[in-house]
Amino acid sequence: MTDALAAAVDAVHDGGLVVYPTETVYGLGADALDPAAIERVFEAKGRPRDRPLSLAAPTVDAAAAYVRADDRTRAFMEALLPGPVTVVAPKASSVPDGLTGGRERVGVRVPDHPVALALLDHVEPLTATSANVSGRPSVREVAELDASLREAVAVVIDDGPTPGGASTVVDPELGVVHRRGRNADAVEAWLAEH
C-alpha cells in the first residue's frame, strides 16, 4: 500500500475527507455510513443538503449490500459495473438519510480505477461525488482542486490526470436514465433489451 493510500485509509477511519481518482474525475470520499462525515462532504462542497450523494463500493456484491435491488437492477449491475455508471435503487436501512437527502433511493458506484478500488478495499462504502465546489467544474487533475476544498480534506491521492466526463445515472428498476454520461449508449441498449 502506498503512503498516500495508507494515509487516506486512516483519514476515512477518523471521519475525515479524502480526494481520490476515478475513471471519470477526482472524487471526494468520506465514510458514506457516518452522518458526521457525510455532513463534512456537504460542507466542503457547499452542496445543498437536499441534493443526494452517491456511494462507492469495491465490487457489485459489496454495492448490492447498500441497496434493495430487484432482479433487473442486480442483472444490470452485474452487466455494467464496474464502470462509469451510477445505479439508483431503494436504499438499505444501513444507508443514512443524510446521504440521500431524505430520499428512499441511493446511487451506488463501483469505480473502474485501480486506485479507487484499492482504497475501497480498505474503507467502504465511500461517498462518490466529484471533488469540486458545487456549481464549479469537475476536477480532472489535482492542480484544479479548489483551495477551500483542498483545505477541507485530510489526504489527496494524486494519480495524474483522469479521463473526465460524468457517470451515467440510471434507475434500472424504473428504466429511467437520470443523467447521460459515459457509457450512456451501453446503458440504454441494456435497458431496451431487458
Q: What is the pLDDT of residues 63-117, one digit of tens each?
A: 999 999 999 999 999 999 999 999 999 999 999 999 999 999 999 999 999 999 9
- Give 106's DSSP letter: E
Distance CA 115, CA 126 (A): 13
Is there a contact between 27 and 99 (Cβ–Cβ < 8 Å)?
no
pTM of the model: 0.95
Ramachandran region, residue 102 (left: φ > 0; alpha: ψ -120 to 50; beta: rest) = left
CA distances from 144 to 5, 32, 157 (A): 20, 24, 13
Is there a contact between 22 and 162 (Cβ–Cβ < 8 Å)?
yes
* Fold of the domain built from segment(s) 3-193: DHBP synthase (3.90.870)
Which residues face 89 on adjacent strands? Answer: 106
Ramachandran region, residue 165 (left: φ > 0; alpha: ψ -120 to 50; beta: rest) = left
Q: Count the residues in the chain.
A: 194
- Strand ranges of the sheet holding 155-156, from the earlier edge strand across to the other edge: 155-156, 18-21, 26-29, 126-130, 54-56, 105-109, 85-90, 168-171, 176-179
Helix/strand/coil (H, E, C) string of 121-184?
Answer: HHCCCEEEEECCCCCCCCCCCHHHCCHHHHHHCCEECCCCCCCCCCEEEEECCCCEEEECCECH
Distance CA 118, CA 112 (A): 11
The pLDDT value recorded for residue 1 is: 73
**Domain boundaries along the sequence of the chain:** 3-193
Q: What is the pLDDT of residues 127-180, one digit of tens each?
A: 999 999 999 999 999 999 999 999 999 999 999 999 999 999 999 999 999 999
Q: Tell me which amino acid residue 22 is.
A: T
